[in-house]
Amino acid sequence: MKLSAFGTKFTSHSGILSLMDDLGNALAGDRDMIMMGGGNPGHIPAVQELFRQRMERILDNPREFQHLIGVYDPPQGEVTFVENLARLLRRELGWDIGPENIALTNGSQAGFFMLFNMFAGAYDDGSFKRIQLPMAPEYIGYADAGLSRDFFSAGHPRIDILDEHLFKYRVDFSEFEITEQTGAICVSRPTNPTGNVITDEELAQLDSLARQHEIPLIIDSAYGTPFPNLVFTEATPLWNDNCIVCMSLSKLGLPSVRTGIVVAREEIIQALSGINAIINLSTGSFGAVLAQDLVRNGEILKVSNDLVRPYYQRRAQEAVGWLREAMGPDTPYYIHKPEGAMFLWLWFKDLPISSLELYERLKQRGVLVVSGHYFFPGIGDEWQHKQECIRVTYSQDPASVRRGIEIIAEEVQRAYREHP
């Protein structure tokens, strides 16, 4: 079968495809796998009960049920949800926005595909622009979202070694360069895969540079403020007319409803809605209707702060403790300081095998992680650090996570013994 350039690019091997294939095959197979690779949120009973009750109210209301399953929403998204969300963000965060500043997408992944290709790639004047990532590692789903190749540029981070086998990535502004080929800046906060939260000062400097060069600053807040607020450190929300803030309902506990949220100035929302209409016709209503009450009364913030964030913060602390115990004092390992999200990013300094080989060894032992080399879009050099890291999630049941960590430690220590 002969495919177009589009078909060839989007059927080629990619990190996100490998990740989702692994998850699907593991769940469908006969073998019990310890799932520490995907980004599936944990099942928090109190949160799921809220959504179960909301579903019952929808089923008991014929008019609301009919709207949920039988009406196309406009390309901008479910009208009442958008209006209520605009009021919430204006009231709680002081953002100067209205409904015209918000659009819904069929998941964040679809939102980033549209936004990235709005601002990067080939332009009518013959120029070509890229998405600038302040540093990598960054989200695995970005890497293949461009319609063309060579779509991202990224800087190497500054690595700060901390106490107790912790480290932290920071933006190295001496390596950060905006050129005529930069279409937009994008940063996730907290970052998937590392759990890093760039500081308010770093974010302010990125915002200043974006304004200076008249390009948008895209802030991926799928794990961040104001909801689900999986942030374990200080982080002030930022939005202005040069920022595009992207949020999601997935990590609140609704990954299957595929509801992404984009907050931007009106002309960007109009353009995004137009693309939405062409690609999707309409966005799905399910997530917006299911979360409607929580947004209307502001309870979505209370659920995030009182139920969701404490769950993940506690699980992060447990996982770090188990890792320290399993690795022992002599293994050359570091954990990125867990400041948010639902992952631990592990760095095995001078690892004598590649992270991909470590992934394969762990898979053979029934533990799924993600090889770190997938998370460096825009860094084309052979930086050894890319081959020394893995991402693990701690969101699943504690007993499985603890056993998975023990197996990871055994395989890492075996690799060092085999190649002293």
Query: What's the distance, CA 263 to chain centroid?
Result: 16
Is omega for the bond preceding 226 within 30 degrees of 0, making it cis?
A: yes
Calpha distance 280→342 (Å, rounded): 30
Low-confidence ranges of the chain (pLDDT < 70): 13-31
- 5-46+303-418 and 71-300: same fold? no
At residue 22, the pLDDT reads 62
Calpha distance 97→188 (Å, rounded): 22
Task: Say which CATH class 71-300 falls into.
Answer: alpha beta
Distances in whole angstroms, Cα of residue 125 to Cα of each of 119, 121, 122, 128, 129 = 14, 12, 8, 9, 11
Instruction: Give me the architecture of the 5-46+303-418 domain, per CATH.
Output: Alpha-Beta Complex (3.90)
pLDDT digits (tens, 9 = 90+) for 78-120: 999 999 999 999 999 999 999 999 999 999 999 999 999 999 9
CB 122 within 8 A of CB 148: yes
Q: List the chain domain ranges.
A: 5-46+303-418, 71-300
Pairing of strands 389-393, 343-348: antiparallel
Tokens of 24: 């699907």
At residue 250, the pLDDT reads 95
CB 93 within 8 A of CB 235: no
DSSP H helices in 308-354? 309-327
Calpha distance 376→383 (Å, rounded): 10
pLDDT digits (tens, 9 = 90+) for 311-356: 999 999 999 999 999 999 999 999 999 999 999 999 999 999 999 9
CB neighbours of 163 closer than 8 A, spacing ≥ 6? none
At residue 345, the pLDDT reads 98
Calpha distance 246→230 (Å, rounded): 15
